[in-house]
Structure 1
Amino acid sequence: MKKIIGSFLIVTILLIASCSKVDENLEESIPVEANYKSQYTSASSPKYSTRELIIQFKKNTPLRKKAALRQQFQVVDYEVCAHCDGTFEKWDFGPGIDLENKFGSVSSGSGGAESIENVIIEFSFENDVEIPYLTGGTGNTYDTEHIASNNSNDNTVTIAVLDSGIDVHYPTFDSSPFLYDAAPLGIPGVYSGWDYVNEDNNCYDDYIQVHGTAVSTMIYESLNYAEVPFQLLPVKIADQDGEVSIFNMLCGMLFSLPKADIVQISAGWYDDINANPFTTSVFLDLLSQYENVLVVTSAGNSSNDNDGNIAHYPSNFSAMTSNVIAVGATNEEVTDAAYFTNYGRNTVDFMSKGTNLPFVNTIGQSVPISGTSFSAPLVTAVAAKLLYGSGMTYTPIEIKEQLDAGGIPVFYTKQTIYNKYITPLY
């Protein structure tokens, strides 16, 4: 069993969501592109739980063994990843617990805990900058009119969108079916995706900035324009305030990786390099189990060098495994990197448009949105077209090679590994 590396209480990790829009007034206040890092200072603080641990069991651990361990460590409540393989649970020890000591005893591997593979302290991260003029609310996504009854078609690209959900009645969508059809899975109550925030099948985007809806729109409009058959698999991991827990992200990946051809994640957290090795190893192990599924992630919006002392995940996994692509944003003219985008020669793969992209609000007014959150799904759509054009045979490595071959060289003040701009499909 791995030893504890330092105390989580002294870990100084900067977390921030990479799924945010930067205010246009801020851009006007920046006099030169060279002064990147000093300009962006609005970052959310880490939100570590004081009472919850995420437990990764070894595969095939019997239910009775899990129950015995929960009793042994005095767990007052627990949560499982619904419709997943049962390897992860979140344990709640109640208020007033010394979580550091509990972490040590659970992860020691002694006293029957040899069935536990990894232990992570639960944490969350949230959006730090708002997108104006957009509105979330209440509704549903489990109505059958939007579910595509073609899941048996092997020539349809399935794209899982891990985000705040989707409003299928938003003005950017028409009435045609485009959601993943879960009927062949035969899982009671699952019609398309799953909401890990509220633990139900309603993936409705109730976040006031409708972030997941905007991300889904980029993919939807791009692939409709390119006439590529696709299904969107909505997986809600961000709550109505835009906050994501690491447990919900893990659950979302466990749910979507076996079902999707491409996974789109426009969210992320910052971490001092190697300060949280257990979280890193858990995600890398999960990604390695589905090495033929491409994961496209946003690089983040803090003008941060992701190669440096502060890493951004999951985008930094692109430097560690072959099936992750990290995407940064260009300025509106595509002459340079956007002033807000994160960068990194070894950790950011490609760039695409990410400044003042067109979107609409609930009453059909055009509003500009910016952020690597929205450049990433544009690359996801291009990757989907490449996969479809290959007869669904390209591996993530081959898709990345094709993206590089078709990319346009652009000089960026902020360096990336490929220095290639990926042209959106529309």
Structure 2
Amino acid sequence: MKSMKFSYHILIICFFILGCTNEDIHDEQLVPDVYNKITPNTSNPKNLINYARKSSKELIIEYQTGISENLKDSLRKKYHVIRYEKCDCTTDRIEKWEFGRGINIEGEKEDISEEGGVEGTDYEFTFYNDDAINGNGGSQGQNNNLISSYIKSQNTGVTIAIIDTGIDFNKFSLNHPFLYNPESNDVLCEIGKEIELSGWDFINHDANVYDDNGHGTLVTLRVINKLREENVTDYQILSIKAFNHLGKTTNFTLQCSYLKTIKSPISIINMSFGWYGTSGNLLRKFISENPDILHITSSGNNEYNNDNTIHYPSSYTLDNIVAIGSINYTQNAIASFSNYGPFSVDFLSFGDLISIHDNNYNYYEVSGTSYAAPLVTAKSAKYYTNGYTTSATMLNQLETNGTNLSFVSEIKYNLLIE
């Protein structure tokens, strides 16, 4: 959306809600017996949380369409690849190559990019989720029968994908199936005896998308709670687990996860994660190839100006990706931790001291742009079900229905739009 944005205009999404409460709780009879306060990982050293750590001996290779296995094998031998890895079950478009010690990874990347049969290359790196909860997920696990009980009998309305740490279904109501039901023309993941039910775990390479961190569960609850508030029932969610119990992933794992996600008829993808440093050029390319999918991203929690310190993927200059910052409505100000930027952050939403409840009467007070993004995802889904079924028309509705505010410091913004 960066090229579509009005200069120094930011949108805050809080539509049709008198008083704009920060509570997602609508069942007055619920009394919390557990209350967990979860805050962003801003207390940890920034280089351990957000900055990508580039591998010195691995590259991601994108092949040209139709390249033979023999040519792939010849290329691996030519560059003395000691190990290679393919994506789980969904695509042979990319591979990860590992080289021996002493390799000049920059030079190798440049040389491989010029090879016939190679479409592109990218660095491999690791990074942590902006709001990783440090293993605060559940411990009881879940079996395939439990997952299956949440799969809808038939998909209706809008399909939302959430690429995150997975879902702990023990925290959701059994009376409300919401998972995407794979369709007949979907390419299902299958490894050995593991066959995809709905979504895939790219960390453990199986069909069980159990959330052993907690972040993905809270993001999903935030989406569902908001959809319920907006009276939207015709939706389904595809959960893709791309982060481990510490909220950590690699560029290759993320790209495999994304390429799996777009194999299904997705309209909106929630991407509540991000990093600094290496851009991940192939992910940007893959997103650009899907202009009708709206990508909702968190802008980061380091109080950085993303116009100057680039945050990925939120800062990709693509019309189908929007960056969400966080606002504290009680203080009439942008949240103290939120990244900002007149040209790089597209919307503000409520992501500071937000209450989220699960089906077990547990309440979580969360802060982070990761939790602001899902509200915008839910609003976009509402517009989709109202007939605005492209990324451009959903974005237009977000802009049109915002509210004009002017209380944020001029150092950061001249204008806020709700």
Task: Give the match for residue 388 of structure 1.
Answer: 385
Task: Give the match for residue 164 of structure 2.
Answer: 163
Counterparts of 1:51-62 in structure 2, within 5 Å, are: 51-62=57-68
How far apart, CA to CA, are the structure 1 residues paired with 2:130 and 2:391? 31
How far apart, CA to CA, are the structure 1 residues paired with 2:135 and 2:414? 35
Task: Give the match for residue 5 of structure 1.
Answer: none
Question: After alignment, is 226-235 or 86-95 more displaced?
Answer: 86-95
Task: Give the match for residue 30 of structure 1.
Answer: none
Change (3 A) 1:256 1:41: same
Quote the offset at 1:138 in angstroms: 5.3
- Provide the TM-score with structure 1 as the length reference: 0.79
Counterparts of 1:25-424 in structure 2, within 5 Å, are: 42-44=46-48, 45-94=51-100, 97-107=103-113, 109=114, 113-127=115-129, 131=133, 134-137=136-139, 139-140=141-142, 142=144, 143-151=147-155, 153=156, 156-170=157-171, 172-184=172-184, 185=186, 187=188, 188=190, 189-207=195-213, 210-228=214-232, 229-259=234-264, 260-271=266-277, 276=278, 279-280=280-281, 282-308=282-308, 310-317=309-316, 320-333=317-330, 335-360=332-357, 364-390=361-387, 393-411=388-406, 412-413=408-409, 415=412, 419-421=416-418
Aligned-CA RMSD value: 2.6
The number of residue pairs the alignment matches comes to: 367
Q: Give yes or no for contact 1:344–1:417 (8 Å, CA) kept in 2.
A: no
Q: Give yes or no for contact 1:141–1:203 (8 Å, CA) kept in 2.
A: no
Change (3 A) 1:299 1:23: closer
Change (3 A) 1:231 1:416: farther
1:355-397 deviation line (CA, Å, top 9, x unaligned): 111135896442311000000001100000001111xx43211
How far apart, CA to CA, are the structure 1 residues paired with 2:108 and 2:140? 39
**2:318 is aligned with what amino acid?**
T
How far apart, CA to CA, are the structure 2 residues paired with 1:236 and 1:264? 12
Q: Give yes or no for contact 2:130–2:275 (8 Å, CA) kept in 1.
A: no
Task: Give the match for residue 14 of structure 1.
Answer: none
1:134-179 deviation line (CA, Å, top 9, x unaligned): 433352474311111213x4xx211110001111111x54442111
Change (3 A) 1:174 1:225: farther
**1:324 is aligned with what amino acid?**
I
How far apart, CA to CA, are the structure 2 residues paired with 1:417 and 1:55? 43
Task: Give the match for residue 22 of structure 1.
Answer: 40
Quote the offset at 1:416 in angstroms: 5.5
Identity %: 31
Q: Give yes or no for contact 1:124–1:246 (8 Å, CA) kept in 2.
A: yes
**2:258 is aligned with what amino acid?**
M
Quote the offset at 1:196 in angstroms: 1.3
How far apart, CA to CA, are the structure 2 residues paired with 1:134 and 1:406? 36
Quote the offset at 1:63 in angstroms: 2.2
Q: Give yes or no for contact 2:149–2:174 (8 Å, CA) kept in 1.
A: no
Q: Give yes or no for contact 1:303–1:341 (8 Å, CA) kept in 2.
A: yes
SS at match of 2:161: strand
Quote the offset at 1:293 in angstroms: 0.6
Change (3 A) 1:265 1:388: same
- Provide the TM-score with structure 2 as the length reference: 0.81
Task: Give the match for residue 6 of structure 1.
Answer: none
Quote the offset at 1:246 in angstroms: 1.1
Structure 2: unaligned runs, 5 residues or longer: 1-37
**2:170 is aligned with what amino acid?**
H
Task: Give the match for residue 20 of structure 2.
Answer: none
